[in-house]
Every structure is written in C-alpha cells, then in structure tokens.
Structure 1
Amino acid sequence: MVRGIRGAITVENNNSDEIIAAAARLVKEMQDANQYHPDDISHMLITVTHDLNAAFPAAGLRQLDGYDLVPVMCAQEIPVPNSLEKCIRIMATVNTSKRPDEVQHIYLERAVKLRPDLALTNKCDSR
C-alpha cells in the first residue's frame, strides 16, 4: 500500500546549515518512527515558507544513507497571513503495510502547532 507520511519542523534562522540540518533531522525521525527504508519511498515533496531561501532543504536528505536516488522536489508554501514562520514541511509517499492509524506523522519544534491533534497521539517533539 502507498501512504503519505507528513512531517514538519521549524528553524530559528534563514541559515543554510540550519535548514539543511533540520530537513535531515526531520526525515530521519520520520523514517525511524515509521520503519521504512529509502527504497520504499516513491518520492518526497518539501515545502518551505517564504522566509526560508538560504538553501534547498533537499540537500539535507542527500546527507542520509540511501537517499541519493529518492526523487525530491522543493517548493514554496502558500504565504497565508499569520501562518507559522520558518517552517519546512515534508510529504513522503512511501510503500508500507501500515494502516493509516499506524502511520506516525512527525511535527518538531514549533511545527507541533500545525497539528496538535497528532502531537497528542504521535511521537512529536515540541522543544
């Protein structure tokens, strides 16, 4: 079965190293929580808010073992007024045997505010 696995993380600064590190951390936590391998991924879509332009977050994935052949596309998030700033969102399309209620969507840092309903039941980190 193919499932979408969501994740989001915020950074404090529009800084290349911070964006790349945050994207790598998020993808690693999504993978660990859902027990898939890069070969299970069909593709990944990464969006960033308009205030993040110092680096492509996809560069963070390239630091992880096995992600060199995963198709990844980066895009800009819709700039909705008063939305969460400095946020990286990821949608991974993954082959998995997990049921929808078993999928762990990962929200880290201030991104927990995006889906507090999932933060209550899933492995999320509100640091």
Structure 2
Amino acid sequence: MSVRGIRGAITVSKNEEQEILQATIELLNGIIQDNQIIPDDIGCVFVTVTNDLDDTFPAVAIRQMPGWELVPLMCALEVPVKGSLERCIRLMVMVNTDKKQSEIRHVYLRGAQALRPDLASKV
C-alpha cells in the first residue's frame, strides 16, 4: 500500500458561505466517486482557497460529511500569483491505496478545468 495524493479544484461564482461549502462537497464527492475511496483510507486533506474567498472555511463542509469527522483537515491560502484563477478551492487528498499513480483520477470542475485541461473531469 502507498500514500497517493489526489488533486482537485473547483471555482465558485461568489464569495458566499453556502456556495463555498456546496462547491467543496461537490469537489470532494467527485474525488470519492472517481477513486472509490472511503474516509478510513484518508491520511489527511489539505484545502486551499484563493484570497478572494474569505466567507467561510471550506473544511467546515468536509467535517459535516458522514464518516469524515476524524479526518485531519488543514485550510490555507493559495499563493496569490498575479493573473491566476480567481475564486478557486483546491484539495489535496492524501489517501492510502494500492492503486498505481496512473490509476489515480484527479478532479477539476467548472472554471478550474483551465488549471489542468489534460486532467479535467467532463462535467
């Protein structure tokens, strides 16, 4: 078994608590479904947001999901590079798995598909 990182990102249209929380759940559910993982397989989740998202902590949404209460979560600000994608939530899910690196499915939704068009989920 290895520890693998699963990346994901999603954008929101507004800096509003409910939109941030719903987008975080949508993104994490996509990662869960595409990679067939369960909370007990998770080592931790790193969450970053761009500095224009400050209405809530995205980790609040994850903490409320059944089975995710004990998963270690950490929120941080994304590096504020000029011209970078705005209103973006990113996840790095560290998972214990037997899957090879090539079998991991990263999830990029909405405007975040521009970050990695080669890996973007078709939604």
Place the TM-score, normalised by the shorter chain, in its bin.
over 0.9
3-state SS of 2:85 partner: coil
Note the residue ranges of structure 1 that are not aligned, 5 or more in a row.
none
Counterpart in the other structure of 1:62: 63
What letter is aligned with 1:14? Answer: N
Counterpart in the other structure of 1:94: 95
What letter is aligned with 1:101? Answer: S
Counterpart in the other structure of 2:9: 8
What letter is aligned with 1:52? Answer: L
Number of residue pairs matched by the alignment: 122
Distance 1:81 1:48 in 2: 15
**Post-superposition offset of 1:62:** 1.9
Structure-1-length-normalised TM-score: 0.93
State the superposition RMSD in angstroms. 0.8
Distance 1:125 1:69 in 2: 31
Structure-2-length-normalised TM-score: 0.96
3-state SS of 2:119 partner: helix
In the TM superposition, what whole-angstrom CA distance separates every residue of 1:10-60 from its partner, at most 9, and x where no partner exists? 000000000011111111110111001001000000000010000000011
**Post-superposition offset of 1:125:** 3.5
Q: Which moved more, 1:80-89 or 1:60-69?
A: 60-69
Counterpart in the other structure of 2:113: 112
Distance 2:56 2:22 in 1: 11
Note the residue ranges of structure 2 that are not aligned, 5 or more in a row.
none
Percent identical across equivalent pairs?
52
